[in-house]
Structure 1
Amino acid sequence: MTTTADSTTDSATGLRVEGLYKSYAGVHALADVGFALQPGQVTALVGDNGAGKSTLVKCLSGLVQPDEGQIIVDGRPAAMHSPRDAAALGIETVHQDLALVQHSTVAQNLYLNREIRTKIPVLRQLGWLDHRAMQRRTEEILRELGIRVPSAKARVRDLSGGQRQCIAIGRAVGWSQRIVLLDEPTAALGVAQTALVLELVRKLADRGVAVLVITHNMEHVMQVCDQVLVLRLGRLVADRAVSELDSTALVEYITGLRSDFATTTNGGDRAEPAVGGERA
């Protein structure tokens, strides 16, 4: 049975997934997955290694095309064949590697591959950039999101790990006020830096952004998330409000002691295979 979003969900807003399948060499990485991401909510995506989390996020970000099912944005089926297609629909992804240029400034990173050209016609044809406009808008984004860095001119290489993660998130939000996907945003961060990132994640939801966070940290799920999706062996086994659960119940879903949906499998259903060296 397809696990779809609650029928009370407004299908004209946010992002909805219906009956998503993805297989590699006959092995289901995702099987009949369905859920909704709502504006103004932080949704956690949890599950053991091989549960299908990375494959799901790749489908949502346009890096991988599902074999079956639909991804629906604003009530319309979305055809995403690349991250550029996803970005055009308002979906931005922050991967674990952050994709920041260490020797460039904060402003240059926020506008990487999206630079503003000068309005002067002759210079515009020559490819001249409007550095003042980019720096001004960067400062506005930093101020609006409460991201604390020395300045828009600071070099990324001189920032802390938490500040770099915030810059990567700020870049995503700067280009999408709608849907942001975060892959382990607090991995390898200290306590203070983690607190900065979690505070920013909560601010995004308060601004009306639909946020999906992949995490292994149950404490963070309980602390900042509104909803939680649990994947096990490629199937969705829970889609619950965080207020209804505790960390013990979450662990039971992850380990297979609980499931809210039918999980009958055929011989081809098992853990997600290693693809490109990844199992997540």
Structure 2
Amino acid sequence: MERKVVLEIQGLSKYFGGIRAINNIDLKLFENEIIGIVGDNGAGKSTLTKTISGIYRKNAGQIRINGKEVEINNPCDERKYGIETVYQEQGVIPILNAASNIFLGREKFQKNILGRFFKFIDDKYMKKETEKLLDSLDIKLKDSNSEVYNLSGGQRQSIVIGRAVYWGGKILIFDEPTNNLGIKQERRALGLIKKLRDDFKISIIIISHNIEHIIQLVDRIIILRNGEKVGERIKHETDGHEIVSMITGVMK
């Protein structure tokens, strides 16, 4: 049975003046798949994901979602097509609780006159939905009413991931998902990403410098160097030594 391509990039290029940040990149992401994008600093990894997600406008190339060519010129376009990006900076507001962060910018208002005319937020509904969401993802918080600044880095990241899932993300892009996490939090983050693929049938792109994590987590690996795609490997047909050699350009 032929696998469904949920995201296809053809000839994607982004220039900053005379500098080619990414040049003529091709890649496919299949349904229910995790791919890793690796490369040294300046290889074009972040530029590629930011161009896919609409933070940068492409100079050339095509983006197709489920076989249909689309234009993604801003993050609102990204969400419209079911793409959500989880950045290493973690897009949470520390002084708000989990529910307020999950519904950030998309708050649920009360159905009564206070909600309709005065925009009173339905905190009970948002709290209930958040607890159901976190439970489905096996995310444990001691107190969901607590401000996010009281949570660990891994818990904050889980809230961002939960928000992406709740709002219908079918393609998730992770930018360095284990950066600044402890060993225990790293294991939880990797387990959650696998759960998104296996239980929620979400297709995932991961940007990471950590080759060990990439090897154990993804199905395929895309290697970038100097803004260009220099290789692609299926996980079980390669190893860390070959990937590092391709990243550096020093083939053994």
Q: Is the 8 A contact 2:79 2:169 kept in 1?
A: no
Whether the aligned pair in 1 keeps the contact of 2:114 and 2:120 (CA below 8 Å) is no
Q: CA deviation at 1:180?
A: 0.7
Residue 209 of structure 2 aligns to a residue whose secondary structure is coil
The 3-state SS of whatever aligns with 2:21 is strand
Question: CA separation in 2, counterparts of 1:215 and 1:56?
Answer: 13
Q: Give the aligned partner of residue 74 of structure 2.
A: 82
Query: Is 1:173 equivalent to 2:165 in the alignment?
Result: yes
CA contact (8 A) 1:41 1:211 kept: yes
Structure 1 position 211 matched with structure 2 position 204:
yes
RMSD between aligned residues: 1.3
SS of alignment partner, residue 173 of structure 2: strand
SS of the residue aligned with 2:229? strand
Task: Indicate whether 1:245 and 2:238 are aligned.
Answer: yes
2:246 and 2:3 map into 1 onto residues whose CA distance is: 24
Instruction: Give the corresponding residue for 1:228.
Output: 221
Distance in 1 between the 2:4 and 2:170 partners?
Answer: 15
Task: Name which of structure 1's ranges 144-153 and 217-226 shifts more when overlaid on structure 2.
Answer: 144-153
Q: Which residue of 1 aligns with 2:91?
A: 99
Partner of residue 111, structure 2: 119
Residue deviations 1:70-112 (CA, integer Å, cap 9, x gap): 1111111111111011011111111111121111111111111
- Give CA deviations for 1:28-55 in whole Å, capped at 9, x if unaligned: 1111101111221111111001100111
**Corresponding residue for 2:153?**
161
* Contact 1:139–1:151 (8 Å) recurs in 2: no
Letter in 1 for 2:58: P
Unmatched 5+ residue regions in structure 1?
A: 1-7, 259-280
Task: Give CA deviations for 1:200-259 in whole Å, capped at 9, x if unaligned.
Answer: 11111112111111100111011111111111111111222111110001101101135x
Maintained 8 Å contact 1:35/1:239: no
Q: Distance in 1 between matches of 2:99 and 2:250?
A: 48
1:261-272 aligned within 5 A: none
Assess if the C-alpha contact under 8 Å between 2:84 and 2:169 holds in 1.
no
Aligned to 1:53: 45
Out of 54-63 and 119-128, give the one that drifted further. Answer: 119-128
Q: Distance in 2 between matches of 1:24 and 1:44?
A: 25
Query: Are 1:182 and 2:205 counterparts?
Result: no
Q: Which amino acid aligns with 2:64?
A: I
**Is this contact kept in 2: 1:43–1:225, CA < 8 A?**
yes
Counterpart for residue 15 of structure 2: 23
Runs of 4+ in 1 over 2 A off after TM superposition: 8-11
TM-score normalised by structure 2 residue count: 0.95
Structure 2 residue identity aligned to 1:93: T
Count of aligned pairs between the two proteins = 249
Match of 1:5 in 2: none
Whether contact under 8 Å (2:3, 2:31) holds in the other structure is no
> Which TM-score applies when normalising by structure 1?
0.85
Amino acid in structure 2 at the alignment position of 1:10? K
Distance 1:247 1:163 in 2: 29
Matching of residue 135 in structure 1 with residue 127 in structure 2: yes
Alpha carbons 1:39, 1:178 under 8 Å: kept: no
State the alpha-carbon separation in 2 of the partners of residues 64 and 176 from structure 1.
23
Contact 2:134/2:140 (CA < 8 Å) preserved in 1? Answer: yes
